[in-house]
Amino acid sequence: KAGVTQTPRYLIKTRGQQVTLSCSPISGHRSVSWYQQTPGQGLQFLFEYFSETQRNKGNFPGRFSGRQFSNSRSEMNVSTLELGDSALYLCASSWTGSQAYEQYFGPGTRLTVT
Amino acid sequence: KNEVEQSPQNLTAQEGEFITINCSYSVGISALHWLQQHPGGGIVSLFMLSSGKKKHGRLIATINIQEKHSSLHITASHPRDSAVYICAPGGADGLTFGKGTHLIIQP
């Protein structure tokens, strides 16, 4: 069974631009969660989607948004990029939700904002 | 908001030693995850537990829900165990993460 895939793996953007990251979960998994990892703040929860609905959202500004498609693939978008958005963005999939089911992480997308 | 404290932050040990990493949290949870992250960023889920104890090979995880505390133990540690270990309590608002324990096992 294929693991969680994320594209692209690396990305360099300029302040003010927007970016879209993609995550394909393990086949059969209906929940996708997104996380941001920075050296200063560590891992932080961004949002969780289940069956195309956002079920939970972390404490991030509205510039961060996401969606999930009917095939469970998910995208996250960051608009008006800031230098502080440089981070490793990870997605994870599970059967129904992060709290009670094992999470399977993708390799991450490393975003650099210049 | 769930406050998560992990200790120690850094740990260097010799091959073969018994390792313990502790995690305390402030808010009741439905389950707690232990994660392993190697250099380069890849994260692997080691355990997800909501009570008692689980064992996978040389790794053991325990949780005391009443005391809001969990421990991860590594028996007969090996240099390939060198990684960052992160605990992540899960509640109604999703996962909250500890800062991680940077473990180095020297041969």
By percentage, how much of chain A surpasses pLDDT 70? Answer: 96
Residues in B closer than 8 angstroms to A90, CB to CB, are 41, 43
Which one is predicted more confidently, A95 or A18? A18
pLDDT at A18: 98
pLDDT at B44: 93
Band (pLDDT 50/70/90 cuts) for residue A96 is: confident
- Say whether A43 and B45 touch across the interface (CB within 8 A): no
Write down the mean pLDDT value for chain A.
Answer: 93
User: Is the Cβ of B54 closer than 8 Å to some Cβ of chain A?
Assistant: no
| Helices marked H in B1-86 | none
pLDDT at A95: 86
Q: What are the residues whose beta carbons fall under 8 Å from the beta carbon of B63, sequence distance 6 or more?
A: B32, B49, B50, B51, B52, B53, B69, B70
Band (pLDDT 50/70/90 cuts) for residue A99 is: low
Taking only the tens of pLDDT, chain B with its 107 residues reads: 788 999 999 999 999 999 999 999 998 888 999 999 998 778 999 999 999 999 999 999 999 999 999 999 999 999 999 999 999 998 877 889 999 999 999 99
Contact B22, B106 (CB under 8 A): no
From B90's Cα to the closest Cα of chain A, the distance in A is: 5
Write down the mean pLDDT value for chain B.
Answer: 94
Q: Which of A94, A98, A110 to mutate to test the interface with B (most CBs of B within 10 A)?
A: A98
Average pLDDT of the residues in A15-34? 96
- Say whether A42 and B97 touch across the interface (CB within 8 A): yes
